Amino acid sequence: MQISKKCSVALHCLVFIHEYGAQQKVTSELLSLSTGCNPVTIRGLMSALKKAGLVTIPFGTGGAQLALPPEQIDLYSVCRAVEPDALEKLMGVHGSPSPLCPVGRNIRAVLERSYEPLREDLKASLKKIKLRQIVDAYHEAAQSER
């Protein structure tokens, strides 16, 4: 379980782009060096963010930019972009309960229904957190580094 590291890597990339996108061409190669992930993995993530309208990436020439100001990018958009079914998979349900048992026959539907509020609440929590806050927290951390 876990909303995978993809989301964290994507945020890393977005912060990086916010910080350096104006000064230099941010390529998948560069992001791979900063994140420690494979360039192909990065390209996959960035491609997803592009499709979701969060970044712009000129095809052919490269160099990613934020498509929206950081106060308009929230964690929910990022998660959904890079991992569309993260919320659905939040609480896993075991796959092979016995159809011979009354509990086994019904447990899946019962649990799915019971978990629904969790998904809704988490979705709301994710929407509340903006890239702005993360960038600000980064500035603070980078500041106190000296």
Which two structure tokens, joined as six digits, stand for 124? 């709301």
Q: Give least dist CB 60 to its own copies, A.
A: 26
Q: What angle do CA 8, 93, 2 make, to 5 degrees?
A: 10
Q: Contacts with DNA in 77-106 (CB under 7 A)?
A: 89, 92
> Which option in DNA, its own copies, none does residue 25 bind, with CB closer than 5 to 8 A by kind?
DNA
> Which option in its own copies, DNA, none does residue 40 bind, with CB closer than 5 to 8 A by kind?
DNA
84 binds its own copies (CB under 8 A): no
Nearer to its own copies, 39 or 97 (CB): 97
Give the helix/strand (H/E) hosting 56.
strand 55-56
23 binds DNA (CB under 7 A): no
Distance from C-alpha of 84 to C-alpha of 14, rounded to nearest angstrom: 18
# of chain residues touching DNA (CB under 7 A): 30
Distance from C-alpha of 98 to C-alpha of 10, rounded to nearest angstrom: 40
